[in-house]
Amino acid sequence: MDNWVTVLTFTYPHEAHMAQGFLESEGVETMLKDELTTQVYNFYSNAIGGVKIQTKEKDYDNAIAILQRGGYIVESGNNTKIEIVQRPNNNPPRRKKQCPFCQSENIGKNKNADIITIIVYFILGALFPIFRISYRCFDCGKEWKYK
């Protein structure tokens, strides 16, 4: 009898069904574990580890390669470094900004709490808007802040 191993987990069943359909279209036999539990008690999803896609042990490496090719498994680039760039003179501070690396306007602000904010919150019980603002480009993935 073949052993079933977990290849990937998802929070919601509909996400797992998409990946399962992709794997089965490539000829890999799959099974969903804890799908019905998360459908009935959706707040238990994180407690039980989510919906698990399982394949036979012999198909594990093939399933991982297929999911990477399909974009379900992405190599993590979480070690992004916040770069400091000079603010261009032709870009006023209140206007829509562009990414200094790829000139895309698809950017967003990151507001990270400063250590002072955390201390004031615990001492006074009030949260003051003392944040370190950085920007992130959703197209090239770079993160920066202005000097």
Number of residues assigned to the chain: 147
Within a domain: 51: yes
What is the structure's pLDDT at 117? Answer: 66
Average pLDDT over residues 65-82: 76
Based on the domain organization, do 136 and 97 belong to the same domain?
A: yes
What is residue 132's predicted lDDT score, i.e. its pLDDT? Answer: 64
The tally of domains found in the chain comes to 2
DSSP letters for 111-131: EEEPHHHHHHHHHHS-----E
Last residue of a domain, one of 24, 40, 70: 70
Q: Tell me the per-residue pLDDT of 124-134, one tens digit each, with 9 for 90 and over.
A: 665 555 556 77
Give the residue from 49, 70, 91 where a domain finishes.
Answer: 70
Domain-located, residue 130: yes
Rounded alpha-carbon distances, angstroms, from residue 17 to 9, 75, 86, 138: 11, 22, 46, 27
> Looking at the domain assignment, is residue 77 inside a domain?
no
Its pTM stands at: 0.53
Residue 75 covered by a domain: no
CATH value at residue 57: 3.30.70
Per-residue model confidence as pLDDT tens digits over 14-58: 999 999 999 999 999 999 999 999 999 888 888 898 999 999 999
CB 48 within 8 A of CB 38: yes
Domain extent for 91: 82-146
CA atoms within a 13 Å half-sphere pointing along the CA-CB vector of 48: 19
> How far, in Å, CA of 58 to CA of 39, rounded?
29
Residues 91, 140 within the same domain: yes
User: In this structure, are 112 and 132 located in the same domain?
Assistant: yes
Q: 10 Å Cβ neighbour count for 87?
A: 13
User: Is 76 part of a structural domain of the chain?
Assistant: no
| Domain identity same for 90 and 138 | yes
Structure tokens at 98: 């562009």
